[in-house]
Structure 1
Amino acid sequence: MSLFHIKPKIYYGSDSLDILKTLEMKKVFIVTDKTMVKLGVINNITDILKERNVEIEVYSDVNPDPKDEEIIKGMLDFVSFDPDCVIALGGGSPIDACKGILYFVKKIKRAMNETEKLTFIAVPTTSGTGSEVTTYSVVTSGNKKIPLSDVEMLPDIAILNPVFTETLPPAVIGDTGMDVLTHAIEAYVSANPNLFSRTLAIGAIRTVFSDLVKNYENPSLEKERTNMQIASCMAGVAFSTSSLGINHSVAHSVGALFHKPHGRLNAVLMPKIIAFNAKNPAARKAYCEIARALDFIPKTEQEGVEILIKGIEMRNAKMGIPKRLRDLGIPKDEYFKQIDKIINDIENDMCTEYNPRKFSYAEIKELLEEVY
């Protein structure tokens, strides 16, 4: 039986925060990071809540690649405050941390025969992860990133407001935007596709190709900022229903070991991963379909793959994203020392299951050597 789950409600545009003026809420628990507090970004939300005399608790002890101990601390604060609404504000890390908090609190309460009724709102401040519309969360434990997936981690409401992306540094715009592209391309070529996921993925891909570099070069352009938020959202819905692939599996492992930005890792890996997967006929056909949807006219499927790769490399170059992992400052000796662990992580990552090409140990090792 196939299922396409449509959730959350998505409010977007410059007036989208107005929804917070209408919802029933008495106690709101906000999960964010210290930067959002320090820069006053959180005030866009708390000012509205204070006008309504809503009680607020802020948990901001979230770092990039949120760790299990941060989740546990957040759980304790959450249970103590006992809110009727929770708002995740930030990039992928605060939203993932919030999801992790809710995931484990609900499991514990269910085991105690208690129910947890609350409204979960996600407010992304980057256009990249799509976490505001997915069932996924990634939690770091030691030197390993652990992807989680559960429908209970899906927000009830997502708010996409361009005010939150107006002051993003260009490097963050580039990295997170290429993460959107990775989500969409992997969703499209997944071994578990459907018409919903492929249609949304193509929409996201076309938008990234059209608007990301413009957004990178001029972050003040509201139309492009809004379009990238919507593209991120569409890509999130797409991969949530069709899954991802080894581009993310490799990025998860390398990111946990060497602490490099997730989106930038995806961008660096993508051209080589596409070439690797394109040896599978179904994947090659799908990549060529993407090239044609971008209005290229390849004569063969392989030419379509090569055109797509070239288009990605050109956008990476325009945004200062390097071609290889070594250019990110990852030490050669340590990287090759960790190859077996990286391969083990890839094999056990949930994103690998629907990668379009199956591979042997020797094949994935050769790929890892090539991307370095």
Structure 2
Amino acid sequence: MTRTTPRWRPSWLDAVLALAVAGAGVVEAYGRAGPGPGEVHRPGLVAAGALVAGLLLLLRRASPVGTLAALTALSALLRVAVMDDDYPLAAWQFYSNLILVHTVGSEPAGPRTRAAGIGVVLAAYALLQTLPGQDLAESLISAIFMGVAYGSGILLRRQTRRTIRMAERAAVAAAEERTRIARELHDVISHHVSLMTLQAAGVRLLLADDPARERERDLLHGVERAGRDTVEELRMLLGVLRDGRAPAGLGSLDELAAPLRAAGLDVRVATTGTPRPLPPSLGLAVYRVVQEALTNTLKHAGAGSVEVAVGWTVHAVTVEVRDDGRGPGDDNGRGPAGGRHGLAGMRERVAQHGGTLHAGGGPDGGYTVAATFPLGAGA
């Protein structure tokens, strides 16, 4: 299983931590402002430092090592510009250091980045020891808290990696189980449905052309058609179990148009009416008609643009593919001299579902393929 790295963006937790540290720092700076010992002599600068620390916490997931290094540099500047021997360690400095140290420990990284992270953590701890009011007890307390923050980050990283591995194994096991179930269903159900269909066909042939048995032949023919449709739909549904992907249908038209747009063809897809769920075989038939028409347009029409119009009504779904290329009879590969097999295949798909198909030149030039598929009782 391949994992892609999602684009980084701040989480709600990042925003809450940033607001908490910045707000606490501003309150502390102005709440303890004053000229006396233990008071903040320059609250404006200390409050500004708290706001910058909050911004760094907001960006912590983008670059953990970089944000911790920036916080350490900020603390060093404040130490020189603001603090004196009577000013104790600001609470927001300690809290923000702990949060960023934990983030550095939890971030998946290579050996070089991890070594850089350890160096920045040690530098942040060393700077804390130069702040006023630090003695042996304070140094030990700081070491314990920063060690726990870094260690808990490492544990979180390992637990996350373990959870991802377990999820990958579970996904593989689920895929294998889907394959096993699909194989068993195919062996059991498809065999018996196909056998029933063949038996119905055999009985219909035994009735020969007796005019008195026309009603029976029609009923048996309906049984055959239903059996073939059931086997086809079952095959596609089992493909979903095996591959975990839904069969192609009208919901895949944009994906179908993407490579044609990349090839320089302007493909526009428009839908009118209210879309409805389609049986897998019918959805695939509609998709194949559009695919064949677009392929012919790309190969033979010399068109610059093509429009795919999908219309939904109560009783039918219609698809129309109109291009602005060469019309029929222009050696474009879609007239009688070429494209017969593709057009015949489209007619067969449409006729299998009781629909109609028209293909030919448009009133304003170009080429148009239009198919109508009945829905509900009309099918």
Is the pair's TM-score, using the shorter chain for normalization, greater than 0.5? no
TM-score by length of 1: 0.22
TM-score by length of 2: 0.22
Of structures 1 and 2, the one scoring higher in RCO (CA 8 A, sep 6+) is: 1
